[in-house]
Structure formats: structure tokens, C-alpha cells
Amino acid sequence: MKAVGLDIGTTTISAVVVGIENGHLERAYTIENDSFVKTKYSWEKIQDPEKIVKKVKRLLDEIIEANHDIRVIGLTGQMHGILYADDEGKAVSPLYTWQDERGNQPYLGEKSVCDVLKQRYGIRTYTGYGLVTHLYNAGKGLLPEKAHSIRTIMDYLGMVLTESNNSIIHSSNAASLGLYDMKSGAFLEEIIAKEKAGNIILPDITETLSILGTYKEIPVCVAVGDNQASFIGSVKDAKDSILVNMGTGGQISVYMDNYLEVPGVELRPLAKNKYLLVGSSLCGGRAYAILKNFFQKYAEAAGICNVNHYEIMGRLAEEGIGREDKLKVDTSFSGTRETPEKRGNITNIGIENFTPEALIAGVLEGMAEELYEMYLLVNEKKRKNIHKMIASGNGIRKNICLQNIMSKKFSMVLQMAEYSEEAAYGAAKAGMIAAKEISGLEAIGIEI
């Protein structure tokens, strides 16, 4: 018997086939998610949801055709983004992704939506969060004429697969939209109404891993957030592990069995009365890619092409790590959630250390430092109970030097997650739990 996990990422769509009895990943699939729509605004980052759904269904049908013993389908995908659906559940807007920056654009005079929410209600939220996007659209008269309800892209996929118009969202996705009360497990609908954006139906929230319906007689599980799915897919013992993810962005995730607000990091739902403390660096692994592009542009200007710059950078990084007079690089090149206008910097530049190897090592150490500073915000008592560091994401999986830096920085032995498609694998495990094929205790050491 097998389970399928689907992950709708921003740039790729992934799927895995997992053996239910042994948890073995039998096959992984990755296709391009080339669904971005060009617009006249540089801050607008939108995708075509119907194109995404067609791609996923084509891939899923291929998997089902090759595997006749699939027992459940689990879903996850890029968090924070939203689309609008009509009263029959059909998408009538683009997918406004987590990268969309309208939440920082002028909304009321010179003030952004994020500014207004902070000043009027004391709520800190961020551009790219779905309900921030919704307030901007409502305030600027940008709501589609037939807009009836709000969906995430993975919830929309679940609705299409099960041919249902029921709008159900797991708490892990609901919280990612912003304007969500973690304690009550509900959207802050009163504030949405006060901002004159309450005429759109919000999805019903569930805190349990439940079955939405079936696709070709196969049960489909409610979608979970990709951060939570990655945690489920990477960590085997939630209570004594920290998950470090380095992809386009960077994240640390720590399990909490009680509600705890920590300034500078975000509390996210995992299940009923179970949470993840999450610290996010916006640039993350992209900082290393930016540096690669820097070297590549110079090389091509010098007539040197077809070079594996990452390989060369890896060799040079080993030389730079051992230096005593290191360059200190702040890699917040894309700002932070709290201060989006912040930019990175390079300090401690001297005559002897302004070299490629020192710069490469400095960027890698800066990437690790950003996440470590967030980890230190977790209370000391909790940190003392964490003994395992699990790492996921290609930004660290393919970078041995960064693995060593992270291990030294956190004073823990680093262990790579068993499978590279962590979110899709976690979605498959979530589906198994929903279908009662396995328990949460078996999956990650706690009941969810």
C-alpha cells in the first residue's frame, strides 16, 4: 500500500510515492511550475492557478496509472498566498503569491496595509500574507467581480480533486494568511469588516488532519502548510529536534506543546494545542545564489563561460573558513519581516582579507548567523532539551561547507533529512495519519 504527497512550490511542483508500511520513498517527481504572470508592476508576484492545477492533475494521473495501490493523497504547498473563487468554487483571480509586495505599497495615503494594521490594531503582519493582500485589493477596488471566497492554492487543488465546493482550511494554512487569532483558532473577521473587506467568505478552519473527499476513489487529505509538512517529513522526534531549512529563504522550526509568544520569531499551528516556533530569514539560500551570480557575471565579462561556479565557490569557502581575520557579512539582503527596508552589509574589510574566499565564507557564516540569532530567542530551558539538528533544503543539502558552519554555530551534530522532497514526503505522512494508516506518534513522536 502506498501514499502520494503533492507539494505546490513557487518554482517547482513535487510529488512522492511512499510505502505506507515502511515509510520508504519509492519515487519522487519534480516538474517546473512556470505559471508566473507578467504584469506592469515590479512588486506584483502572481501565478495562474488553473495552469498549476492542470499540471498537478496531469502528474497525479500519471502516478495513479503507474501505482494501483494508492490509499491516500496528501497535499501541501506555498503558504501565505491566496486566490478568489466564485460561488461555484471556480478561481476568478490569479494566485497572489507570498512574494507579492502590495502589502508594502501605499494603501491609505502613504501608509501601507501593514502600517495601518499596526497603528490601528497593534497587529504586526507582513506583505505577501493573504489577508493583507485581500485588504489591499478591497481598498483599491481590485476585487474580481465574481469573487465569493478566499482559498489557498493547495486548498483550491483539494477542492478541484474532490469536486467539492466546501471551503476547509487547516490551521497551519489559515494562520499563514495573517489576521488569525492563534488562541481561539479563528480569523479576526471583525477587523476585516472594519477595513471594509468583509464581504468575502473565509474558509472554515480545522485543526485536525481530516479527509476532504476522494479523487478516483482515493481519499484526499486536507492540505497542510509547507513549513509544517517539511517538519513532519524531516523530523522523527519532534520534542528534542530543531529543523533548519535552507532553500530560497531560510527557517528554523522548534516544536512547542504550549502557546508561547516570542518577539522576533513566529508561532505557527501544527495541530490542536501544538505549535512550531519559526524564525525566517527572507534571503536565506538566495544570498549564496546572489554571490554566485556576482562571480558569474564577472567571469562572463572576461570571456569565461560554462563554468560550475558553485563547485569553485565550495573549494574557496574551505580556504576562507579557516581565516582569523574574517569578513563579517550581514546577509539580510532582502530585509527582514520586521524591517523590510533593511539591507545587508560587509564589515571588517582589510587589506589582506578582501578576497573571494573570505567573501564566500563570510556569506555562508552570515546565513548561519541570521538563523542562530533567531534560535537564541527560544527560551533557554527549551533549548537545553534540543539535542538533534535536522537540516533540509537544497541550499544546505548541496553545501558541505554550510553544513559544517551550521553544526559549529549551533554546537550540534547536523543530520540531513532522509529525503530531499521533505514537504511532499511530509504531506504523504499527513495523509497517512488522516487515513489512520499510521499515528502521529509513529510519524514524528507526538500525536497530531
The CATH number for 247's domain is: 3.30.420.40
334 and 392 fall within a common domain: yes
* pLDDT tens digits, 233-275: 999 999 999 999 988 788 999 999 888 888 888 899 999 999 9
CA distance 280 to 261: 15
Q: For residue 231, tell me if it sits in a domain.
A: no
What is the predicted pLDDT for the residue at 12?
Answer: 92
**pLDDT per position as a tens digit, 46-91:** 999 999 999 999 999 999 999 999 999 999 999 999 999 999 999 9
> 434 and 394 in contact (C-beta within 8 Å)?
no
Whether residue 308 sits in one domain with residue 178: no
- Domain membership of residue 172 (yes or no) is yes
Does 297 reside within a domain? yes
Q: Say if residue 316 is in the same domain as residue 197.
A: no
Q: Are residues 143 and 271 in the same domain?
A: no
Fill in the amino acid letter for 243: L
Q: Picking from 328-337, 358-367, 437-446, which range would have the lowest pLDDT averaged per residue?
A: 328-337
What's the domain count of the chain?
Answer: 2
Report d(CA 271, CA 225) in Å as an integer. Answer: 11
The answer to whether residues 156 and 49 touch, using CB atoms and an 8 Å cutoff, is yes
- Say whether both 209 and 268 belong to one domain: no
Instruction: Domain of residue 42: give its range.
Output: 2-222
pLDDT (tens digit per residue) in 86-111: 999 999 999 999 999 999 999 999 99
Res 35 pLDDT > 90:
yes
pLDDT at 420: 87
pTM for this structure?
0.89
Q: Is residue 436 part of a domain?
A: no
Q: Is residue 432 part of a domain?
A: no
Residue 152: helix, strand or coil by DSSP?
A: coil
Quick: pLDDT tens for 143-202.
999 999 999 999 999 999 999 988 899 999 999 999 999 989 999 999 999 999 988 999
Residues 212 and 321 in one domain: no
Q: Is the pLDDT of residue 112 over 90?
A: yes
Does residue 254 share a domain with residue 186? no
pLDDT tens across 328-357, in order?
999 988 777 677 778 989 999 999 999 999
Regarding whether 205 and 248 lie in a shared domain, the answer is no
**In this structure, is residue 397 part of a structural domain?**
yes
Backbone φ, ψ for residue 364 (5° rounding): -60, -45
Looking up cell 569557502, which residue turns up? 317
> Cell match 492545477: residue?
53
270 and 140 in one domain?
A: no
Q: Residue range 282-300: average pLDDT?
A: 91
Same domain (yes/no): 47, 172: yes
